[in-house]
Amino acid sequence: MIFHQSLRRELSFTTGGVFLVLVTIMITTLVIRILGFAANGAVNPEDALVLIALATLGYMAVLLTVSLFVAVLIVLVRWYKDSEMIVWFASGLSVANLIRPILQFAAPLIIIIALLALFVWPWANRESTLISQRFQQRSDVSMVAAGQFRESAKAGRVFFIEALDVDKSEVKNIFAAETKNGRLSIAVASTGFIQNVGNGDKSIVLNHGRRYEGTPTQSDFRILEFSEYTTNIYNKEVLDPPPRDREKMISELINDQNPSVVNANRAELLWRIGLPLMALGLVLIAIPLAYVNPRLGSYTAMFYAVLIYLIYSNLLNLTQNFVAQGKVNALVGVWPIHVLAFCIAYLLIRNRINPSLKWWRRQLPAFLTSK
Helix 96-115, helix 336-353: angle, nearest 10: 160
157-165: strand order across its sheet: 149-151, 157-165, 170-180, 183-196, 202-214, 222-233
The alpha carbon of 204 is separated from its chain's Cα centroid by a whole number of angstroms, namely 41
Q: Name the pTM for this structure.
A: 0.76
Sequence-distant (6+) residues with CB within 8 A of 65 are 113, 275, 278, 279, 282
Neighbours of 207 (CB within 10 A): 15
Nearest alpha carbon to residue 287 among 358, 361, 337, 351: 351
Handedness of CA 130, 135, 139, 144 (dihedral sign): positive
Neighbours of 158 (CB within 10 A): 16
pLDDT in tens, the chain (371 residues): 677 788 889 999 999 999 999 999 999 999 999 888 887 767 878 888 999 999 999 999 999 999 999 999 999 888 888 777 777 777 777 778 888 899 999 999 999 999 999 999 999 999 988 888 777 665 555 555 667 777 665 556 787 878 777 555 677 888 888 887 778 888 888 888 777 666 656 677 888 888 888 877 777 778 888 888 887 665 555 556 677 888 888 888 888 878 778 888 899 999 999 999 999 999 999 998 888 665 666 667 788 888 999 999 999 999 999 999 888 888 888 889 999 999 999 988 888 876 655 444 555 455 445 54
